Amino acid sequence: MKQLWAGKIIGILLLLKSPSETLRYPRRSQDFQKAIRSYDRLVKNALIENPPVCSSGKRGRTAQSSTRNLLIRLSEHRNDILRFAFDRKIPFDNNQAERDILMFKVKAKISGCFRSKKGIDVFCRLRSYASTIRKRGTGMYEGFLTLATGSPLTIFG
């Protein structure tokens, strides 16, 4: 069964993403509030369209469809899902977190494993430092040169 609400939810999330990045209009504007209400209405109607599965008579909880489970999460975790629209410090996606973890996985895959806990700590600190350099727009060479000369970039500087 095609779920038409899914595309509409994606559209609303992308609409909310745009003003949270560019601040074209304030969060208290009518358009912003209308988008939030549309999200709530779509989730509510989709829950009605995807009713719970009736109990089969067996013990334990009755398994629900993956669609219904997603809708329940969209409803119960609404504030967390829409947090990016209210707080500019919250990213729309988790791509940066995934990229940060990816290098750790690549390193572990290439060398098979880390030889010691200290090796893991050093690798993680260097990756964190490199990530900070990249986020600040400083060149990698300059950033690591300052580290090698004993005057690394400060986190809060």
* pLDDT for residue 5: 93
108-135 average pLDDT score: 80
Per-residue confidence band for 69, with pLDDT thresholds at 50, 70 and 90: very high
Q: Is-contact 146 153, C-beta < 8 A?
A: yes
Per-residue confidence band for 139, with pLDDT thresholds at 50, 70 and 90: confident
What mean pLDDT value characterizes the chain?
Answer: 82
Angle at which helices 95-111 and 117-136 cross, to 10°? 140
* pLDDT for residue 19: 61
Percent of the chain surpassing pLDDT 70: 88
* pLDDT for residue 98: 76
The rounded distance, in Å, linking the Cα atoms of 155 and 157 is: 6
* pLDDT for residue 6: 93
pTM metric for this prediction: 0.62
* pLDDT for residue 93: 83
**In this structure, which amino acid lies at residue 13?**
L
> Each residue of 22-49: pLDDT tens digit?
554 556 678 788 888 999 999 999 999 9
Phi, psi of 85 (to 5 degrees): -75, -25
* Maximum Cα–Cα distance across the chain: 71
